[in-house]
Amino acid sequence: MSVGNSVVPDDVLQLENNNFFEFVKLFAGEKLSNVIKFQDISNTQCLLACEDPFEILLLDSDDLVDLQKQACVKLKSSGFVVLPGLICKMKILKGALINKRTELKRRRIISDNVNRTSGTLSNSSVINNGNNLTQLSVQESNIYSSSTATSYATEDKLKQHLVNLVDDWCEKFSQNKNQLAFRLQHDLDYLIIVDLVSNKALVKCRCGVKSMLGQKDSRYILSNFIRHLTHKNPCVMVKEKLASINANVNINNVSDGNDTNESVDVESNSMSDLVSRAPSSLGKRRKDQTVNSSSSKKKRSI
pLDDT one digit per residue (tens) for the chain, 302 residues: 455 556 788 899 999 999 999 999 999 999 999 999 999 999 999 999 998 999 999 898 999 999 999 999 988 888 899 999 999 999 999 999 999 998 888 888 877 766 555 444 444 433 343 344 434 334 433 433 323 333 345 677 788 888 888 888 888 877 776 656 678 888 888 999 887 777 788 899 988 888 888 887 767 888 888 888 887 777 888 888 888 777 765 555 555 555 544 443 434 444 344 334 444 443 444 445 554 555 544 444 44
The pLDDT value given to residue 5 = 54
Residue 115 carries which DSSP code?
Answer: I
Q: Which class for 169: exposed (0-12), middle (13-18), buried (19 or more C-beta within 10 A)? A: buried
The pLDDT value given to residue 236 = 84
The pLDDT value given to residue 144 = 33
CB 225 within 8 A of CB 214: no
The pLDDT value given to residue 248 = 67
CB 83 within 8 A of CB 71: yes
d(CA 26, CA 24): 5
Q: Residue 214's beta-bridge partner residues?
A: 221
CB atoms within 10 A of CB 289: 10
User: Which ranges constitute the DSSP H helices of the chain?
Assistant: 17-28, 30-38, 44-49, 65-71, 84-110, 155-177, 223-229, 236-301
Q: Which residues of 117-132 are buried (b: 16+ CB within 10 A; e: fewer)?
A: bbbbbbbbeeeeeeee
Q: Which residues of 76-97 are buried (b: 16+ CB within 10 A; e: fewer)?
A: eeeebebbeebeebbeebeebb
The pLDDT value given to residue 170 = 84
Q: Residue 64: helix, strand or coil by DSSP? A: helix
Q: Which class for 148: exposed (0-12), middle (13-18), buried (19 or more C-beta within 10 A)? A: middle
d(CA 80, CA 60): 9
Residue 37 carries which DSSP code?
Answer: H
Q: Which class for 46: exposed (0-12), middle (13-18), buried (19 or more C-beta within 10 A)? A: middle
